[in-house]
Amino acid sequence: MADELKTPIAGLHHVTAISGPAQENLDFYTRAMRTRLIKQTVNFDAPEMYHLYYGTQDARPGSVLTFFNREEGGTGQAGAGAALGFAYAVDPAALVDWQARLGGQISTRFGAQVLSLRDPHGQVLELVADADVGERDAGDWGVFHSVTLWVEDPAPTAAILTEVFGYAFVGEERGTGGRRLRYALPGDAPGRVVDLWQAEAPVRARPGPGTIHHVAFRARDAAHQAALRAALLARGTQVTEVKDRQYFKAIYFREPGGVLFEIATDGPGFDLDEPMAELGQRLMLPPQYEPRRAEIEDRLPPLVLGAA
């Protein structure tokens, strides 16, 4: 591993998916899943659409799940070239209670129990029993365990994970209709596990509600992000310039399996434009859209936040 890459990536930063109507998405993730709405904003590239963020009470990187909310609904297709699902780490003793609340099926994967279900718009969502979670307090609920990437050929994706990001191969298991290869980071970073799913049947992903748009990994700081960007460019991977995403700085590239990857910084953070105690309570717009607030609010459906 090159000198600048002796520091592994710090796990997941966020996962961004596409949902159907915002209110149904909000009700499921705040009421059924009990995560906190930490930001109400719009898709910066399409401001007629909500972009809702959920996470732990303190909105920490490694817990952030965001959705582009499509009011017109429709469905996407999970398949090769996109992330298949994301998983939260859950107290093993609470797994059956979660199943009673949410439904879904429990299976065993790499020695741990996993509850698998779908959200109201068809997104694959999992809860993985993790003994470390029992020791955390309730405010810590909502930290990711892992993400699963669906790829036709795992090898080139695995090379990015191990040679650039610092993951190590854990093992392989057969599942229904395919095989799963597990990679993990050293230490206890939130979302330190990435699974690669290789299906027997050739299915290509088609974006839409119920599918994941991109997976964002967490750089330790801007210098780490710059080192990772340089390492990717040196391998011949096309990477974007650093983009200002208001709450963090981000670079993007498509990994060889077709999944859109992002590498994001922690700063400036989700409390940039509203106090931590009030996150998610009102629509926040980036400076370029603030002059159009009335028009934008007019086109968005009103949201009933309820008790989070």
Closest approach of Zn ion to the CB of residue 254, in Å: 14
Instruction: Decide whether 116 or 246 has the Cβ nearer to Zn ion.
Output: 246
Instruction: Decide whether 182 or 249 has the Cβ nearer to Zn ion.
Output: 249
Closest approach of Zn ion to the CB of residue 264, in Å: 6
Closest approach of Zn ion to the CB of residue 256, in Å: 20
What are the DSSP calls for 148-209, one per residue? Answer: EEE-S-HHHHHHIIIIII--EEEEEEEETTEEEEEEE-SS--TT-EEEEEEESS--B-B-ST
Alpha carbon of residue 51 to chain centroid = 13
**DSSP state, 7?**
S
**R_g (Cα) of the chain, nearest Å:** 19
Type of residue at 107: S
Binding positions for Zn ion, rule: CB under 5 A: 16, 216, 262
Closest approach of Zn ion to the CB of residue 118, in Å: 22
**Angle at the Cα of 259 from the Cα atoms of 242 and 10, rounded to 5 degrees:** 55
Instruction: Decide whether 151 or 215 has the Cβ nearer to Zn ion.
Output: 215
What are the DSSP calls for 88-117, one per residue? Answer: EEE-GGGHHHHHHHH--EEEEETTEEEEEE
Closest approach of Zn ion to the CB of residue 253, in Å: 12
Is the Cβ–Cβ distance between 17 and 123 less than 8 Å?
yes
Instruction: Decide whether 44 or 289 has the Cβ nearer to Zn ion.
Output: 44
Rounded distance, CA 136 to CA 220, Å? 23
Closest approach of Zn ion to the CB of residue 203, in Å: 24
Closest approach of Zn ion to the CB of residue 162, in Å: 23
Both tokens assigned to 151: 């790829």
User: What length does the chain have?
Assistant: 308
Question: Quick one: which of 182, 169, 165, 154 has its CA closest to 258?
Answer: 154
Instruction: Decide whether 240 or 281 has the Cβ nearer to Zn ion.
Output: 240
Q: Is 298 helix (H, G, I), strand (E, B) or coil?
A: helix
Instruction: Decide whether 110 or 252 has the Cβ nearer to Zn ion.
Output: 252
Instruction: Decide whether 9 or 199 has the Cβ nearer to Zn ion.
Output: 9
